[in-house]
Amino acid sequence: MMMTCAEARKILYDIETTTGEPTLAEPGSMIALAKAHVMVCVACSEYFERERAFIASIHDRLAAPSAPVPQAVLAAVLETTSRARLQEFDTLSVPRTQRLLRWLKRTFMRS
Amino acid sequence: MDQTTRVKTKRETAAATQPTGGFEDIILEQMPRLWPVALRFCRHHELDAQDLVQDTMIRAYRYRDSLSVADNKFAWLRRTLLNTHLNRLRSSKRWDDRADLSLAEEIPSFDPMPTSGLVTDAFRKDLWDDEVLRALDSLPEIHRTVLLLADVEGLSREEVAEITGHPKGTVSSYIFRARKKLATVLEQYGLAHGYLKDEDLKREQAGFIEAMENASKMGAM
């Protein structure tokens, strides 16, 4: 069965335009048929080639792998983690305080 | 030193001696890679990006045990940052799921024209730097976000679907539409500023149509 350009592009759009491991197609599956179509169809192979080039250019232009972090941001982040630690310490301490209050109530309210 | 100060110092000292498993070391090591991600998702507004990173760190600290055993600490932190960002978007109403549904038309069964190679070539040129960012910012929030997640961060469709809470098929449609819109915005900009010529684009288009017609004659269509 020969596949049309429309079917092949719809089936393969995600697969052909996603970064990562290539999808293996089981022989006779729709993906395999679509890939077979693209191999012989100049228009479809050019279509996917151009789409992949555009996507690669999006990545190249926008994906800065690392950047210097402003000192103010680093200071704010470290302050945040220090505050988070303090809050956690307080939270951990609350049950102990509550236990003490309950003990005091039990001890002195009875008498 | 009064009583209050003494108590505060004790509290701080006690908190500071709690084991953190080198949490700050991990953060300091990963920040140079995390910061550009925060900037991208906050449209390069430094203060917003700083808020996002700080919220992320509070969350990361809470789950630091999980972070300390994560094989890829950057991926763990980035995932936390992206989830935090999406939660913030939802609560700020900038992420309107109902409105966004209208943007998720299905991928057309046949997309006749690929993105112009001329647009791609021009897109790579340095002088488009700010325009690239402006073009990206002109996209609806959902399109902009999925494009960044898929094409810039390199996440799989499944991962994008999980983060955004949309079905995988809907995510694919969003990505397709976002790329097409970005290409259109860039093409218009290129034409308006003389980086692209209308006749070159038409010539390229004619060449592609000819290739399609030849393929059709050979029975491939």
Tell me: the pLDDT tens digits for A45-70? 999 999 999 999 888 888 877 888 99
Q: Which chain B positions have a beta carbon within 8 Å of A62's beta carbon?
A: 40, 132, 136, 148, 151-152
Give the separation between CA A38 and CA A5, rounded to whole angstroms: 8
Greatest CA span in chain B, whole angstroms? 92
Residue B116, classed as helix, strand or coil, is: coil
Cβ separation A73–B183 shorter than 8 A: no
Choose the closest CB to A50 out of B115, B123, B148.
B115
Q: What pLDDT sits at residue B97?
A: 55
In percent, the amount of chain B with pLDDT more than 70 equals: 78
Average pLDDT value over all residues in chain B: 81
Choose the closest CB to A9 out of B24, B61, B111.
B111
Q: How many angstroms away from the CA of B99 is the closest CA of chain A?
A: 24
Cβ separation A81–B23 shorter than 8 A: yes
Choose the closest CB to B179 out of A9, A19, A55.
A55
Choose the closest CB to B57 out of A42, A54, A77.
A77
Angle between helices A42-62 and A30-40 (to 10 degrees): 100
Give the separation between CA A76 and CA B57, rounded to whole angstroms: 10
Q: What pLDDT sits at residue B104?
A: 56
Picking from A58, A8, A5, A61, the residue whose alpha carbon sits closest to that of residue A30 is A8
Averaged pLDDT for residues B6-27: 63
Q: Which residues of A69-94 are buried (b: 16+ CB within 10 A; e: fewer)?
A: beeebbeebeebbbebbbebbeeeee
Q: How many angstroms away from the CA of A75 is the closest CA of chain B?
A: 10
Torsion angles phi and psi, residue B166, rounded to 5: -105, 155
Averaged pLDDT for residues A79-100: 71
Cβ separation B151–A81 shorter than 8 A: no
Cβ separation A89–B18 shorter than 8 A: yes
Any idea what the Cα angle at residue B44 is, between residues B39 and B50, rounded to 5°? 50
Report the length, in residues, of chain A.
111
In percent, the amount of chain A with pLDDT more than 70 equals: 78
Q: What pLDDT sits at residue A21?
A: 64
Burial status of residue B191 (CB atoms within 10 A of its CB: 0-12, 13-18, 19 or more): middle
Give the separation between CA B144 and CA A62, rounded to whole angstroms: 12
Q: What pLDDT sits at residue B77?
A: 96
Q: Which chain B positions have a beta carbon within 8 Å of A38's beta carbon?
A: none
Are B35 and A67 within 8 A, CB to CB? yes
CA of residue A17 relative to chain centroid, distance: 17
Which token pair is A23?
A: 């999808």
Choose the closest CB to A81 out of B27, B124, B148.
B27
In percent, the amount of chain B with pLDDT more than 90 equals: 31
Most confident of B1-10, B39-48, B86-95, B114-123: B39-48
Give the separation between CA B80 and CA B163, rounded to whole angstroms: 10
Averaged pLDDT for residues B173-181: 90
Look up the ipTM and state it. 0.79
Averaged pLDDT for residues B104-127: 74
Cβ separation A41–B148 shorter than 8 A: no
Q: What pLDDT sits at residue A87?
A: 75
Which helix (H) or strand (E) segment is A92 a member of? helix A71-110
Q: How many angstroms away from the CA of B129 is the closest CA of chain A?
A: 8
Q: Which chain B positions have a beta carbon within 8 Å of A57's beta carbon?
A: 120, 123-124
Q: Which residue has the higher pLDDT, B211 or B54?
A: B54
Report the length, in residues, of chain B.
221
Average pLDDT value over all residues in chain A: 81
Cβ separation A59–B154 shorter than 8 A: yes
- Confidence check: pLDDT of B19 > 50: no
Half-sphere exposure of A102 (CA within 13 A, CB side): 6
Q: Which chain A positions have a beta carbon within 8 Å of B54's beta carbon?
A: 76-77, 80
Between the alpha carbon of residue B110 and those of residues A11, A17, A36, A47, the distances in Å are 10, 15, 17, 11
Between the alpha carbon of residue B109 and those of residues B69, B100, B101, B171, the distances in Å are 45, 21, 19, 16
Between the alpha carbon of residue B179 and those of residues A40, A56, B121, B163, B216, the distances in Å are 26, 12, 15, 19, 27
Choose the closest CB to B36 out of A19, A64, A78.
A64
- Confidence check: pLDDT of B220 > 60: no
Give the separation between CA A4 and CA A38, rounded to whole angstroms: 10
Are B183 and B115 within 8 A, CB to CB? yes
- Confidence check: pLDDT of A2 > 90: no
Q: How many CB pairs under 8 A join A and B?
A: 169
Cβ separation A86–B11 shorter than 8 A: yes
